[in-house]
Structure 1
Amino acid sequence: MKNSKLAVVTAAVLSASLALAGCGGGGGNSANEKDDGSLMKVDVYDDLANYQGVQKGWFAKMVKDKFNIKLNMISPNVAGGGSTLFDTRSAAGNLGDLVITGAGNGRLTKLIKAHLIEDMTPYLKNAKNIKKYKTATDSLNKLSGQSSGVWGVPQSVSTKSPTDPSEGNEPVFGPYIRWDYYRELGYPKFNNLDDFLQVLKQMQDKARAETGDKNVYAFSLFKDWDGNMMNNAKQPTTYFGYDEMGFVLAKADGSDYQSVTQKGGMYEKALQFFNKANQMGLVDPESSTQNYDTMSAKYQQGKILFSFWSYLGPAAYNTTENKAQGKGYMLAPMGDMKIFSYGATPNGGAAIIAVGSKAKNKQRLVNFIDWLYSKEGVYAMAGSVKGMNFDIKDGKPELTDFGKKLQSNKSSKVPAQFGGGSYSDGVSALNFTTELATDIDPDTKEPYDSSMWQSTIDQFSNSALDKDWSEHMDGAKTSMQYLEKADKLMIAPGSSFIQPDESSQISTLRGQVKTEIVNTSWKAVFAKDDNEFNSLMDEMRSKVDGLGFKQVLDVDMKNAKDQNTARVNIKKQFANREKAEGN
């Protein structure tokens, strides 16, 4: 999926940078500091942000009105990626006034030891929202080896059960297809990936015949997100309950763990799927040279028939106008799929928000963080402001006229009283989920996510496309409704497991191995026949074994199994907590 990636920092460089930072010691001021309430520019070091500079628009106005704060985003993703920005600021002893970064790989421990972040405990007297998630902050302490303190608040905390899906109306993973061409074929059934290819071939033939465009393809691929493996090849494995942990594909229920190099394994089957598709003429020949943005433009034009994710094809093409004509991407009903789903995370996720040790007016900053975890803050982080794009009527949330307008145009101009400018430009640049938007507002008994409100579903699931899809998906109004009803979802309980620090030796070996795996994967997809495909895969297995693959695989396999243990434990912990609270 498309996520902002945390900056990757090698253990050696990270240790050196933080050692230098440690020389700067703590700083800032105490809980008794004097704060005159004047406008405060807050530097936010944010490994998740995709924007650099001062926050704009409606979210900026909310923050200024409430806290007289101006957020200045410092984003490694925009500043060239990698660890350079982190290293430079750490060495100077001041990462930022607020810090949003990953807690794993030993980073949180090192940030604390280097005095780059502050214990928030002295500022929490009135922080009822942060206190609400004490189990989550306590879990962070265990991760960082601290016996006390509140050193950060994790992302994506939740009041839901870890066995409830964290997603909204759409799963993170899933096979989406141009439903209009599928409809024209008469809704043929397909039970597996091989059947799926035959249906996609028929869809491609029909689309080309109707449009006269020979550049319509079933698949279009890209390399931007390749990591330990070819990202696109990982996606079909998620349709059968698997997700990655380094070089391991681990099933959500803990029943299976596979090396990506396993002969006949899930990863090889996914590569075979795309290779067969290519041999059938279904793969865009520009796949190996284009980037995500170039590929995404083809979805906007409706030229690609299969989408890996709901935020790709549907987001690009399913406009109000297209849906009214019955055109668009919808979840495909593959017979044997059991889609991997991330469970809700009572103890939060892998990233944290923390206060920098050199920051001024720390109490105000903690108050701001506490607000982010309040109901109003959670709505805002989910893109909603009461009075602007929604109101409460008869105790239930409903979109305003402006909110309805946003359903088809996220760039609509925001009313001046809420800050003006484009709505999309005003969305929180923090790119940090505080409480899950799928959590339930206790007052309305509906999720914070406006797309999940019954009123929204009733109003915006009535297009020709939605109605036809629903009629052929057991009456479901959303993809998640269908998957849950059809028992086609496999939920990985939402633990707060974070990979431990990795040695420099393992990191070095990993870099060499993943280069070989990714490069061979692309060659295998475009192999001219089965013999070439098999030869490439056998050669790849031999090469990575010679590069020390087993040492890295052992680390990843242990992490995958430890993650499953954490998932089992969080289920028990949540059940015990619910029992103790009488729920």
Structure 2
Amino acid sequence: MKKKLLSVLLCVAMTASLLSGCGKNNETSSADTTKETNNGSKEDSSGNSSDTGSSKYKKFITVDVFDSQSNYQGIQSGWFAKVVKDKFNMELNIIAPNVAGGGETLYQTRSAAGDLGDLIFAGSDQGKLQDLVTAGLVMDMTDLLKNEKNVTKYQSAIDTTNDLVKEDGTYAIPSAVSSQTPDTPSEGLDLNYGPYVRWDAYSAVGYPEIKTLEDLLPVLQKMQQTVTTSDTGKKTYAFSFFKDWDGNMMNNAKQPTCLYGYDELGFVLAKADGSDYQSIIDSDSMYTRVLKLYFDANQMGLVDPESTTQNYDTLYNKYKDGQVLYSPWPWLGKGAYNTNEHKADGKGFMIAPIDDMKVFSYGCQSTGNPKFTVSIGSKAEDPQRLADFIDWLFSPEGICMSSSQTSGSSGPKDLTWELKDGKPVLTDFGKTALVNGDATMPDSWGGGSWKDGISQLNFQAVNLLDINPETGSAYTHTVWDSFLEMNKTKLDTDWQDKMKAKTTLEYLQNNDKILVAPGSGYSTPLETSDITTLRNQCKAAIVQYSWQMIFAKDKAKFDSLLKEMQDTVDGLGYAEVLKLDMKNAKDQDAARKAALAASK
């Protein structure tokens, strides 16, 4: 294939973000907020003509955005919507399987209808990009991007992603590219995973030793007995779960496996260094171990009984209220509860020390992340405008404004941050919006809530640890010297004194408690439709039984449900799918080792 190759190579990390966002759902469709006028232009819901904008884009358009990682459904609103409107005279109507339900079914249904979306944020791995190209659902962006100045800096990563299809052209652009080495932790000062606890409650019970995962339970029980109610007087729980992100397995049960260096690939838990591969349903697997942990926790009264019915938004609000004492991700517990006021009072989430943990970390990739890419739909009304928008997402301004809110994006210059003596520092507004998590936007930015107005795309174009050429510092404020100087609250200093480190990353590195999976850009190959059918049947059973096991009435019932799950999926063809996943997991490890060797 003919590909343009530029000299700038960058590398990527998956963050949970990958996996998450906290924006309020808005299920209003574009038809509810705009209407056609007699002259063919559109009016917004207030009746004002929106057929204006920059001289470059005369016609106002609504762009349907299929986004597999967004946690928001409907028209993007708030300050980010204003930025998009002012720059591109368009609005974003987000179609999110995470919110709408249906997941892969919604993807297949829209694909079969011949129109997945105008902008498509989805995975290009497992043959999906080839499927989109073959079906004519995405367009070749080569000519559209030829005069763009930002995205073409990452041509090498773009070429690697588009090598996944046999046709020449540029059909997808990967996310989160970065220039660092494959064995560099990509997440910043807090990894994507970790045992984050309400440190004030942990302190109140005397900082008890936690030797293993199971030792968390008696500690959390003491913490729950000490901090019995939330800030609004509701009963506290150690654990609270939700079903939104369940896939090949129960998502919440997968997270603690990452504390021991594992991550999922299909039905396999693969250790970051390639030293172990486990079938998740085995009786001695880490996944089954976590299910048993949660079962024991529920027997002890540590699990929120509303876990089976609530969604992510409900869960987030419980963390914000201080109702949950353990968080598997820093961006959930810390993001929701660690306000300036709470930290000054010594209250908030910090990572706890588990003696035998080695936390999984995603290493950087120069080739970007093919599991989350952006494409332009073949039926898009104004593809050049969408190419311009994509290019802006990869610009320093776009990276700061639109990266996932869970990943430490610094926000707009001169609003949330400014340059002082050549160094970026948070403004007073930025401290409120980014540390406390919300603020009221100035009228010049359209007013409303900071949090409700953030980009709901959940797309990190460039790894935020990479250097912003306009500031000479990282895109994320969380590693700025000026931000680290703020970490002198009662909460921070108590944690630092106890852990003998200034940051989470420093503690993990000093104590050999991190295991980095080198970035490689590996993409799982297309699986047959027969395998997909078997997988869907098996994973539905695994998820169902996993929830039932956690809330089983006694250990005998837990054991019988485990056996029943194993027998059921074995009868559904689990072994055949597992064989493929095991091969892919080992191929992934080989790619990681090759990428690391090539970087030396």
2:412 corresponds to which residue?
385
Q: Is the 8 A contact 2:338 2:435 kept in 1?
A: no
| Change over 3 Å in CA distance of 1:410–1:503 after alignment to 2 | same
Is 1:238 the counterpart of 2:265 in the alignment? no
Q: Is the 8 A contact 1:252 1:490 kept in 2?
A: yes
Query: 2: CA distance between counterparts of 1:230 and 1:503?
Result: 24
Letter in 2 for 1:364: R
Q: Is the 8 A contact 2:229 2:323 kept in 1?
A: no
| Change over 3 Å in CA distance of 1:136–1:274 after alignment to 2 | same
Q: Is the 8 A contact 1:44 1:100 kept in 2?
A: no
| Change over 3 Å in CA distance of 1:394–1:528 after alignment to 2 | same
Query: 2: CA distance between counterparts of 1:212 and 1:74?
Result: 34
Is 1:134 the counterpart of 2:172 in the alignment? no
Q: CA deviation at 1:339?
A: 0.5
SS, match of residue 516 in structure 2: strand
Q: Is the 8 A contact 1:388 1:418 kept in 2?
A: no
| Change over 3 Å in CA distance of 1:71–1:520 after alignment to 2 | closer
Q: Deviations over 1:142-171 (max 9, x none)?
A: 21223x322221111111222112213322
Query: 2: CA distance between counterparts of 1:212 and 1:424?
Result: 21
Q: How does 1:126-275 map to 2 (within 5 A)?
A: 126-146=147-167, 148-208=168-228, 215-275=235-295
1:491 corresponds to which residue?
516
SS, match of residue 133 in structure 1: helix
Query: 1: CA distance between counterparts of 2:533 and 2:558?
Result: 28
Is 1:505 the counterpart of 2:530 in the alignment? yes
Q: Deviations over 1:160-208 (max 9, x none)?
A: 2221122133221111112112112221222112322232232233334
Q: Deviations over 1:360-393 (max 9, x none)?
A: 5433332332222122221122351111211112
Gaps of 5+ in 2: 1-15, 21-54, 403-408
Q: Deviations over 1:265-291 (max 9, x none)?
A: 212222222223233333334434444
Q: Is the 8 A contact 1:46 1:430 kept in 2?
A: no
Q: CA deviation at 1:212?
A: 13
Query: 2: CA distance between counterparts of 1:338 and 1:277?
Result: 22
1:414 corresponds to which residue?
441
Query: 1: CA distance between counterparts of 2:222 and 2:259?
Result: 22
SS, match of residue 407 in structure 1: helix
Greater CA deviation, 429-438 or 93-102? 93-102
| Change over 3 Å in CA distance of 1:210–1:358 after alignment to 2 | closer
Is 1:549 the counterpart of 2:580 in the alignment? no
Query: 2: CA distance between counterparts of 1:85 and 1:182?
Result: 43
| Change over 3 Å in CA distance of 1:97–1:294 after alignment to 2 | closer
Letter in 1 for 2:541: E
Gaps of 5+ in 1: 6-34, 576-583
Q: Is the 8 A contact 2:63 2:90 kept in 1?
A: no
SS, match of residue 533 in structure 1: helix
SS, match of residue 424 in structure 2: strand
- Among 103, 115, 135, the alignment partner of 1:114 is 135
| Change over 3 Å in CA distance of 1:573–1:124 after alignment to 2 | farther
Query: 2: CA distance between counterparts of 1:555 and 1:572?
Result: 26
| Change over 3 Å in CA distance of 1:223–1:110 after alignment to 2 | closer
| Change over 3 Å in CA distance of 1:264–1:571 after alignment to 2 | same
1:441 corresponds to which residue?
468
- Normalising by structure 1, we get a TM-score of 0.85
Alpha-carbon RMSD: 2.8
Q: How many equivalent residue pairs?
A: 543
Letter in 2 for 1:314: K
Q: CA deviation at 1:217?
A: 2.8
Q: CA deviation at 1:239?
A: 0.4
Query: 2: CA distance between counterparts of 1:531 and 1:508?
Result: 32
Q: Deviations over 1:110-139 (max 9, x none)?
A: 222233222222233332322221221111
Query: 2: CA distance between counterparts of 1:69 and 1:285?
Result: 43
2:46 corresponds to which residue?
none
Greater CA deviation, 87-96 or 541-550? 87-96
Q: Is the 8 A contact 1:52 1:75 kept in 2?
A: yes
Q: How does 1:310-329 map to 2 (within 5 A)?
A: 310-329=330-349
Q: CA deviation at 1:457?
A: 2.0
Q: Is the 8 A contact 1:154 1:351 kept in 2?
A: yes
State percent identity of aligned pairs.
Answer: 50
2:31 corresponds to which residue?
none
Query: 1: CA distance between counterparts of 2:218 and 2:564?
Result: 30
Q: Is the 8 A contact 1:177 1:329 kept in 2?
A: yes
Q: CA deviation at 1:307?
A: 1.8
Q: Is the 8 A contact 2:520 2:592 kept in 1?
A: yes
1:26 corresponds to which residue?
none
Q: CA deviation at 1:468?
A: 0.5
| Change over 3 Å in CA distance of 1:453–1:39 after alignment to 2 | farther
